[in-house]
Amino acid sequence: MIASIEGQRGMPRPKPPFPAQSGLWGKPTIINNVETLAHVSRILKVGAEVFKSIGTKDSPGTKTFALTGHVANTGLVEVPFGTTLREIVLNIGGGITDDAGKIWKTGFKAVQIGGPSGGCLTEEHLDLPLAYESLRAVGAMVGSGGLVAMNQGTCMVSIARFFMEFTQRESCGKCVLCREGTNQLLALLDDVIEGRADAGTLELLEKLGHAVQVGSLCGLGKTAPNPVLSTLRYFRKEYEEHIFEKRCRTGRCKALLSPGINEVKCKGCGLCIKACPTGAITGEKKKPHHIDAELCIKCGACATACKIHAVEGI
Amino acid sequence: MNKATESTLTIDGRTVAIEGEQNLLELVRKANIDLPTFCYHSELSVYGACRLCLVQVEGRGISGACSTPPEPGLKVLTTTPEIREIRKIAVELLLANHDQSCPTCSRSANCQLQSLAQRLGIKKVRFKSVHQPVPLDESSPSLVRDPNKCVLCGDCVRMCSEIQGIGAIDFSHRGHEVMVQPAFGKPLGEVECVNCGQCASVCPTGALTIKSEVDKVWELIADKAKTVIVQIAPAVRVGLGECFGLKPGEITTGRIVAALKHLGFNQVYDTSFAADLTVIEEGTEFLERKTQGGTLPMFTSCCPGWVKYTEQYFPELLPNLSTCRSPQAMFGSLVKAMLPDQMKIERKDLKVVAIMPCTAKKFEAQRPEMGVDGDPDVDYVLTTQELAHMIQSAGIMFDTLQPESFDMPFGFYTGAGVIFGNSGGVMEAVLRYAAEKATGQRLEQVDFQQVRGDSGLREATITVNGSELKLAVVHGLRNARVVAEQVRAGKSRYDLIEVMACPGGCIGGAGQPVSTTRDTRALRTKGLYHADKMLQLHKSQDNVFITECYAKFLGDIGGEKAHHLLHTTYQSRRRIADESLALMQSENEDKLKVSVCLGTNCFLKGSQEVLNGVLRHGEQSGMEGKLDVRAGFCFEKCESGPTVMIGGEHIPNCNAAKAIEEIDRRIENDEPAGTCNGHSCNHCGK
Ligand code: SF4
Ligand code: SF4
Ligand code: SF4
Ligand code: SF4
Ligand code: SF4
Ligand code: SF4
Ligand code: FES
Ligand code: FES
């Protein structure tokens, strides 16, 4: 930001010197976000004691989270530090929903906390009081205060890729580990999602993620691998399914799907033939139909069209 | 260790004293650990992008050594398994986005990326290639830009802006699309690059390299119909040896001559001869300006990087620039004027090759004014590095060659010509001449220590014949800008200013073997002063062949013939290439040229209407074959806009009626004339 104001290229500078020592035009500068400044005005108004009476010991006051994703009520919620995830997501947020927006009582899978480069929290963290120190302990961060709730239908590898793509695009391109590293992390995730990965991919993801995290020049790079590292930590099983079983349990990873028609179930009604955009399905009336894997683009239209769920694997 | 340096820290368990180092990296290197880096250069600002210099600081984790200030008591580890792995990953990441064509890459011999991959023991790049090929930029006469080999360390960018004060190249785009390139993706040959090549000399890879003319020279020496003579510049003799394992500064003049003869050059001469000639011409010019009230201060003009810089940024100071050509150019024009007759050959069959420490000399040799009817005075310029390649590719064992001597007469030189190769040398050589000329007495003490040294901006005052001469010696164009701005503001106290674009002068030129550090430069400079010491003659005026040259061929010093062959003119280059847009063109040779300025200022003052009016009038009165109408972009005459140039004449405060009247008048009187495109040049004085 300082560089941009000075009319320079928006790239981070090595620290020290910190902005408070030498910032805008070489002068000591403090940079704060709006929320901090809003708190400052309140502290000045009500006094530090009143402010500190809310929240936890090390994280006093309140925090505004941007709650979104598979929850009934999305939006900004301001809660005292120390409020549990359960309270925010299941109570204030009104509970987890399915893709159609209906409440899904047992649907909770995870939340992504702290923005695109934050970490994931799972069921085991539902009763964790959200505060700086407690989040740090589980490898997550308050960050920008984003809270994205995800239901059981969410593929965690795809989610990691989604956030990775974002941070990769945000890289300023200055330092090697962030510029090239985020790009390669993305490529490795693509390998997992598209069925090209092997055991080495997993190891490389972890090593590269660590290198980018430790070695990057600025905060963006240092936190960029978080989505990968934290999903690897809590949802390793899902990665392994993708890699070794070539299977995505949620069916989101198209490349891993192999739709087929169950010959026993199929009644040969032909509804799927009409639905298929690529003409991949053939079959005589009243006899089991067949999908040509070469032509199939894995769109799932046949499965939706088939009333008796004879199309499987998609 | 003295008392004041009691503060220490440990590096890999060893105690190291902090003695004013700016960062941990310098300390680590002092402790004899060559931490790898791409983006650190002691003379440039800290950038922190390559992440190779990572170290572990106890209690603080891993951080870049280049950007961590030393503090007493720190415990630093430079090679932990974790750091090794991160370093390997960083280099592999670079290689995965790199055109790995080492065997055919011109930096193969000393590429830092390649050697680092070896050092770190990288056997395989674990990442897949994400390299997207982009075209090379070969537009510059001096350099080749190959973005496919760039590791984005930014050294070139900082060199060009921090040391040269130009900023011809910079980063563009973001994320993994980042590139280093000239503004708006223009070719390097069309922007304000002065061809000094300093960017290439700090580039760790093959992304910025010298444009090689080696193949053309091989062809030339194989052509028996041609007489090929070669001149070598002073600085080459203290640099070339480094390519063959010798120490910087070691003088290898005799071996270079032998190698050049081996390669098949017909005559081997020394540019130092022409440097002696430059001293006489430039010294005389200076004394004339000083005693006859000419434009002062006078700037030296032997550095083509500086000359182009002045033309671009300080066109108003062009009268301050000595009109002397550089020694390379004097040499070329003199021998091509003298030798064909003597050798009874045609000029076109005499070819001149120059061996230079300099990439900008390639540009200079191509300037149209440095030639006769399109035949350049210097045909090809090879840098020290390119000569080393030729010697290596011919298999000549340089280190065991028997020294040979230059051919005469252009191989005879004095110490004054030799020290041209280092910053302060031209000044000292001119003083050795001017002091003697002004006093009419023999100068015994020839060393002018006052102008020696390595600071980028040095001043000295010398009293000659009772009058004080105020002198300045500058290297690095950013320093030159400071001095030039003083002159422009009328605040300069100097009489004579020597400017060299490259750090340390030509011994630090970009054509020299790479890895030019301050220490290397100091050794090369020492080598040249030593060469001066070892010679019998130290003053250009004592060069008997120069005296003879004037007597038999050139006539008077600074006389008409000397002026014609040894001096030159300059042009303002405020505007970059492609600045005008043709709107009505004609094949006709003597068409009338009309340029209407559509710059912001003139546009606001209504130049668009002028242009429309002129075009309409041209069509209606059937002048298509006779007019060449162009739109220009600011002629720098904004105060009197709208600016229109008709047949080379500037029409201030122009409007459509005025322009049409002038066009009609000229067409009627058949007075087209003028090839001037309206930009200030110093040919017609307008
Ligand atoms: S998944 Fe789509 S493309 Fe494939 S068979 Fe079904 S309808 Fe056709
Ligand atoms: S829609 Fe279902 S039942 Fe009907 S043909 Fe297709 S697979 Fe068989
Ligand atoms: S720049 Fe270096 S690593 Fe790249 S191709 Fe050239 S020699 Fe090889
Ligand atoms: S050659 Fe000199 S002026 Fe041109 S880009 Fe390189 S450093 Fe800048
Ligand atoms: S061109 Fe060379 S010096 Fe410039 S950024 Fe690329 S690798 Fe670094
Ligand atoms: S200082 Fe010497 S080497 Fe550098 S550009 Fe000028 S003439 Fe060339
Ligand atoms: S030298 Fe420190 S990051 Fe490049
Ligand atoms: S804008 Fe026309 S002369 Fe400057």
> Mind listing the pLDDT tens digit for each residue in A112-121?
988 878 888 8
Say how far apart CA B404 and CA B417 lie, in whole Å: 19
Residue with the larger pLDDT of the pair B653 and B230: B230
Residue B62 forms contact with A (CB below 8 Å): yes
Q: CATH 3.10.20.740 in chain B, residues?
A: 8-79
C-alpha dihedral sign at B361, B363, B368, B373:
positive
Assess whether B160 carries a catalytic annotation. Answer: no
Whether B575 shows a pLDDT value over 70: the answer reads no
Instruction: Let me know: does B557 contact B284? Beta carbons within 8 Å.
Output: yes
Whether B680 shows a pLDDT value over 80: the answer reads no
- Ligand 4 close to Cβ of residue B267 (< 6 A): no
Whether B588 shows a pLDDT value over 70: the answer reads no
Contacts of B154 in chain A (CB under 8 A): 174
Residue A137 forms contact with B (CB below 8 Å): no
Please tell me the class of the B215-566 domain: alpha beta
Whether B679 shows a pLDDT value over 60: the answer reads no
Place B579 in a pLDDT band, splitting at 50, 70 and 90: low
- Ligand 4 close to Cβ of residue B240 (< 6 A): no
User: Pairing mode, if any, of strands B8-11 and B75-77?
Assistant: parallel
Q: Are the beta carbons of A171 and B175 separated by less than 8 Å?
A: yes
- What is the Å distance from ligand 1's center to A249 Cα? 19
pLDDT of residue B364: 95
Range with lowest mean pLDDT among B78-87, B486-495, B674-683: B674-683
pLDDT of residue B667: 85
Closest to A60 (Cα-Cα) out of A135, A137, A131: A131
pLDDT in tens, B29-40: 999 999 999 999
Ligand 3 site residues, Cβ closer than 6 angstroms: B 98, 100-102, 105, 107-108, 111, 113-114, 149, 205-206
Assess whether B285 carries a catalytic annotation. Answer: yes
Instruction: Let me know: does A139 contact A230? Beta carbons within 8 Å.
Output: yes
pLDDT in tens, B479-535: 999 999 999 999 988 999 999 999 999 999 999 998 657 888 999 999 999 988 888
Place B5 in a pLDDT band, splitting at 50, 70 and 90: very low
Residues in CB range of B229: below 8 A, 6 or more apart: B265, B266, B267, B268, B269, B335, B339, B350, B351, B352, B353
Q: Are the beta carbons of A168 and B175 separated by less than 8 Å?
A: yes
- What is the Å distance from ligand 5's center to B356 Cα? 23
C-alpha pair distances (Å), A110 with each of A71, A107, A209: 12, 10, 21
Q: What are phi and psi of B186, to 5 degrees?
A: -70, 160
Q: What average pLDDT does the segment B194-202 reach?
A: 95
Q: What are phi and psi of B661, to 5 degrees?
A: -60, -45
State the architecture of B581-668 in CATH terms: 3-Layer(aba) Sandwich (3.40)
User: Which of the four CATH numbers 3.40.50.1820, 3.40.50.1860, 3.10.20.740, 3.40.50.1000 does domain B8-79 have?
Assistant: 3.10.20.740
From the alpha carbon of B39, which atom of ligand 7 is closest? 4
Range with lowest mean pLDDT among A134-138, A235-239, B23-27, B633-637: B633-637
- Ligand 4 close to Cβ of residue B193 (< 6 A): yes
- Best mutation target among B40, B66, B77, B86 (most A Cβ atoms within 10 Å) is B86
Closest to B618 (Cα-Cα) out of B584, B662, B645: B584
pLDDT of residue B516: 59
Closest to B572 (Cα-Cα) out of B510, B637, B496: B637
Residue with the larger pLDDT of the pair A1 and B570: B570
Assess whether B597 carries a catalytic annotation. Answer: no
Write down the catalytic residue from B211, B308, B351, B361: B361
Q: What are phi and psi of B223, to 5 degrees?
A: -85, 110
Assess whether B654 carries a catalytic annotation. Answer: no
Query: Cβ atoms within 10 A of the Cβ of A137, count?
Result: 10
Query: Is residue B345 classed exposed, middle or buried when 0-12, 13-18 and 19+ CB atoms within 10 A define those classes?
Result: middle
Instruction: Let me know: does B306 contact B570? Beta carbons within 8 Å.
Output: no
Residue B533 forms contact with A (CB below 8 Å): no
pLDDT in tens, B101-114: 999 999 998 899 99
Residue B85 forms contact with A (CB below 8 Å): yes
Say how far apart CA B419 and CA B597 lie, in whole Å: 48
Q: What average pLDDT does the segment A217-230 reach?
A: 90
Q: Are the beta carbons of B175 and A176 separated by less than 8 Å?
A: no
Place B572 in a pLDDT band, splitting at 50, 70 and 90: confident
Whether B4 shows a pLDDT value over 60: the answer reads no
User: Pairing mode, if any, of strands B380-383 and B350-356?
Assistant: parallel
Instruction: Let me know: does A85 contact A111? Beta carbons within 8 Å.
Output: yes
Q: CATH 3.30.70.20 in chain B, residues?
A: 91-210
Residues in CB range of B342: below 8 A, 6 or more apart: none
Q: What average pLDDT does the segment A57-76 reach?
A: 90
Q: CATH 3.40.950.10 in chain B, residues?
A: 215-566
ipTM of this complex prediction, to 2 decimal places:
0.82
Range with lowest mean pLDDT among A189-198, A302-311, B330-339, B583-592: B583-592
Kindly state the percentage of chain B with pLDDT values over 70: 95
Q: Are the beta carbons of A177 and B48 separated by less than 8 Å?
A: no
Whether A90 shows a pLDDT value over 60: the answer reads yes
Whether B344 shows a pLDDT value over 80: the answer reads yes
Q: What average pLDDT does the segment B325-340 reach?
A: 95
Place B674 in a pLDDT band, splitting at 50, 70 and 90: very low
- What is the Å distance from ligand 1's center to A70 Cα? 27
pLDDT of residue A188: 96
Q: Are the beta carbons of A184 and B130 separated by less than 8 Å?
A: yes
Place B599 in a pLDDT band, splitting at 50, 70 and 90: confident
pLDDT in tens, B614-650: 989 988 888 877 888 888 877 777 778 888 988 878 8
Q: What average pLDDT does the segment B535-542 reach?
A: 89
pLDDT in tens, B129-146: 999 999 999 999 999 999
Rounded-to-10 torsion of CA B508, B511, B515, B518: 0
Say how far apart CA B459 and CA A240 lie, in whole Å: 71
* Helical residues (DSSP H) of B107-233, grouped into ranges: 112-119, 155-158, 198-202, 214-222
From the alpha carbon of B49, which atom of ligand 7 is closest? 3
Assess whether B19 carries a catalytic annotation. Answer: no
Whether B682 shows a pLDDT value over 70: the answer reads no
**The model scores a pTM over 0.90:** no
Q: Which domains does chain A have, with CATH numbers?
A: 62-244 (3.10.20.600), 257-312 (3.30.70.20)
For the CA of B313, the nearest ligand? 4
Across the beta sheet with B644-646, what order do the strands follow? B581-584, B627-632, B592-597, B644-646, B649-651
Residue A165 forms contact with B (CB below 8 Å): no
Whether B237 shows a pLDDT value over 70: the answer reads yes
Assess whether B561 carries a catalytic annotation. Answer: no
Say how far apart CA A98 and CA A143 lie, in whole Å: 27
Ligand 1 site residues, Cβ closer than 6 angstroms: A 259, 275-276, 278, 280-281, 291, 296-302, 314
For the CA of B172, the nearest ligand? 5
Closest to A251 (Cα-Cα) out of A131, A158, A177: A158
Residue with the larger pLDDT of the pair B649 and B657: B657
Please tell me the class of the B91-210 domain: alpha beta
* Least CB–CB distance from A179: residue in B126, B154, B175: B175
pLDDT averaged over chain B?
Answer: 89
Whether A198 shows a pLDDT value over 60: the answer reads yes
What secondary structure, in 3-state letters, does B248-297 show?
A: CCCCCHHHHHHHHHHHCCCEEEEHHHHHHHHHHHHHHHHHHHHHCCCCCC
Range with lowest mean pLDDT among A200-204, B355-359, B681-685: B681-685
Kindly state the percentage of chain B with pLDDT values over 90: 62
Contacts of B173 in chain A (CB under 8 A): 173
Say how far apart CA A304 and CA A272 lie, in whole Å: 8
- What is the Å distance from ligand 4's center to A127 Cα? 61
